[in-house]
Amino acid sequence: MTEPLPQSILFCCDHNAVRSPMAEGIMKKFYGTQAYVQSAGVVSDLDIDGFSIAVCQELGIELSRHKSRSFDEMEDRGEEIASFDMVVVLSTASKARILDLTKFYSLRLEHWPIFDPTAQGSKRDEKMAAYRKARDQIVDRLVARFGPPHA
């Protein structure tokens, strides 16, 4: 059953380099400016992944300008995690960290266990297939949760 879009949503994963930027970009493409959408990771030690950029380009989504950021960097810039209406965690590590950071706040938290494509395949076509699998899982979860794309 689909629900209305929250006013603000934060997507989280381990490094903010693969799954959460894909979710942020797809959400923005599908639902436009109807919700404030951001992403972050437990750490921000990696740049946006090239395979994530490539599989999102297939849907007309631009990720190459994405700058990875951690939860700590977010809060250092004055953006409180607790200020989001909904937080969607896409990995187990980010779930543990978010639960710790928000233990005193009341917010909607959902865990969408999205496949981690980073260690899959050794050839380009195998890697692209793995990243498409993760991208498509995100698409399916968004559509199931918020309905067909508006854009």
Averaged pLDDT score across all residues of the chain: 90
Domains of the chain from N-terminus onward? 8-146 (3.40.50.2300)
Rounded to an integer, the average pLDDT of 5-15 is 93
Question: In a 10 Å sphere around its CB, with 0-12 CB exposed, 13-18 middle and 19+ buried, how is residue 26 labelled?
Answer: buried
C-beta of residue 130 within 8 angstroms of C-beta of residue 49: no
Can you tell me the mean pLDDT for 26-38? 94
Q: How confident is the model over 84-132, as pLDDT tens digits?
A: 999 999 988 888 778 777 777 777 889 999 999 998 888 999 999 999 9
Residues 6+ apart with CB under 8 A from 86: 6, 8, 9, 10, 107, 108, 109, 110
Q: What is the band of 71 on the pLDDT scale with cuts at 50, 70, 90?
A: confident
The pLDDT tens digits for 77-93 are: 988 888 899 999 998 88
Specify the amino acid at residue 137. Q
Q: Which two tokens stand for residue 115?
A: 């496949």
Query: What does the angle CA 120 – CA 135 – CA 114 come to, to the nearest 5 degrees?
Result: 70
Q: Residue 41 and residue 44: Cα distance in Å, rounded?
A: 6
